[in-house]
Amino acid sequence: MFNRPSLAELVKQSETDLTVNFPNSAARQRGTLLNALARVMAGLAHGLYGFIQWIFKQLWLDTAESESLNRHGGIYGIYRRPAAFASGAVTITADSGTVIPKDLILQTATGIQFKTTAEVTVIGIAPAAVTVIAVKSGTASNIGGGWKLTAAIPIAGLRSLDTAADGIGGGGETETDDDLRARILRRLRTPPQAGSVNDIEGWALNLPVVMKAWVRRNLDASANGYYQIVLYFTVAGAGGVPNLPTAANIATVKAALAPKLPATVNPIVAAPMPLPIILRLRITASPAIKTNINEAYKSFVASAAAVGDGAGAGTITLAKIIETISSQAGSTPFVVIIPAADIVPRFGEYPMARDAEFVQ
């Protein structure tokens, strides 16, 4: 094993070499010409050692940094996912004949802006719908259903604008080095196999809109005993927390996968069924500790959750929940009232944490 010498060690080595080659030269004495030369040479060598060390890290996928990591992935056709724009539907309530123009800016009370992707004319008394896309990319534009929006310019006959039930989602940040590295390593460890389960999951994960993906096989009796292949996925919600995809997200994934799928493979692309996880805790603690417990618990569930396969996949263990709470509660005693056992999602279910409930 080679240990990179420190700057002080290189200075000492340079002084020793100059002293050996130039006896009685006072190379170790500060202020002399040879001492200054020794320090210059040591500084140059130290910089070269640093560069060589950095170059060495870029050679290996598990230590490569941003630019080099991009190149490693490019060799296998895996590229960093860019920031994605949230999209979804908005319900329009307006007088018959009201026209909502394309590229109309709509915004929330908090200033999140979207623009319409097409012109829509309201016909009759029934509410109409228009597809919108966020003005800015990122997770900040992901909002739920029922949000009130206002038009940036007055529209005659327009009464209200509300986000559809499944909200506006799919916005995501630029992929991090760790997430890109994980996808490249996944490709190396599970090479393509002409449309296998791993292939379909990998193709989905390469799409900017997809945060997590799982392929589950369901033995469908109506299909003569053949497995029914279902691709479930999540998108980035507010704050980067996994959220259920909208109908528009599902359509995007279907369209992107279609050219890649073998003729004999036709998976169902669907949103997982939410499985609300309720945590009820008996504890006497300060509001700060309760907030930390709630955030840690929700973060744990978000990172550990997976779509159930009917055979134990995606299980959230009670022991891990207790461990997560303990990490924030410290020496404060507590009792977990709910859940009373491990949470095992059924086929197609996806665990999603609600805010923790605290009782005395």
Collapsing DSSP states into helix, strand and coil, what is residue 325? helix
Sign of CA dihedral 238, 239, 244, 250: positive
The CA distance from 225 to 231, in Å, is 19
Across-strand partners of 275? 351
Sign of the dihedral defined by the CA atoms of residues 293, 318, 179, 82, in that order = negative
pLDDT in tens, 261-309: 887 778 889 999 999 999 999 988 888 999 999 999 999 999 899 999 8
pLDDT given for residue 254 in this prediction: 92
- The SS3 call for residue 26 is coil
Written as one letter, the residue type at 330 is G
In whole angstroms, what is the distance from residue 321 CA to residue 108 CA? Answer: 36
Structure tokens at 222: 């109506």
Amino acid at 359: V
pLDDT at 224 over 70: no
CA pair distance 23, 34, nearest whole angstrom: 11
DSSP string, 183-207: HHHHHHHS---SS-HHHHHHHHHTS
- Checking if the pLDDT of 200 tops 60, the result is yes
Q: What is the pLDDT of residue 239?
A: 67
Helix (H) or strand (E) holding 180: helix 177-189
**Structural domain spans, the chain:** 7-58, 87-169, 188-271, 274-359
Is the model more confident about 217 or about 56? Answer: 56
Treating both helix axes as pointing N-terminal to C-terminal, what angle do 177-189 and 66-75 enclose, rounded to 10 degrees?
30
The pLDDT tens digits of the residues spanning 201-217 come to 999 998 888 889 999 98
CA angle 65, 69, 70 (to 5 degrees): 130
User: What are 157-199's pLDDT values in tens digits?
Assistant: 999 999 988 788 888 888 899 999 999 998 898 888 877 888 8
With CA atoms as reference, report the closest residue to 355 among 238, 276, 269: 276
Q: How far apart are CA 297 and CA 280, in angstroms?
A: 11
Question: How confident is the model at residue 225, as a pLDDT?
Answer: 59
Closest by Cα among 127, 122, 120, 125 to 97: 122
- The residues near 44 (Cβ < 8 Å, ≥ 6 apart) are none
Instruction: Please check the confidence at residue 221 and state whether its pLDDT lies above 50.
Output: no
Residue 21 pLDDT exceeds 60: yes
Comparing CA positions, the residue from 156, 158, 100 lying closest to residue 132 is 100
Judge if pTM exceeds 0.85.
no
Report residue 46's pLDDT band, with 50, 70 and 90 as the boundaries: very high
Tell me which DSSP letter residue 357 carries. Answer: E
Count of residues making up the chain: 360
Hunting for tokens 């973060």 — which residue is that?
299
Q: Which amino acid is at 47?
A: G
- Residue 256: phi and psi, rounded to 5, are -75, -30
What is the three-state SS of 250-310? Answer: HHHHHHHHCCCCCCCCCCEEECCEEEEECCEEEECCCHHHHHHHHHHHHHHHHHHCCCCCC
- Answer CATH for 188-271 from 3.90.1150.10, 3.30.300.30, 3.90.1170.50, 3.40.30.10: 3.30.300.30
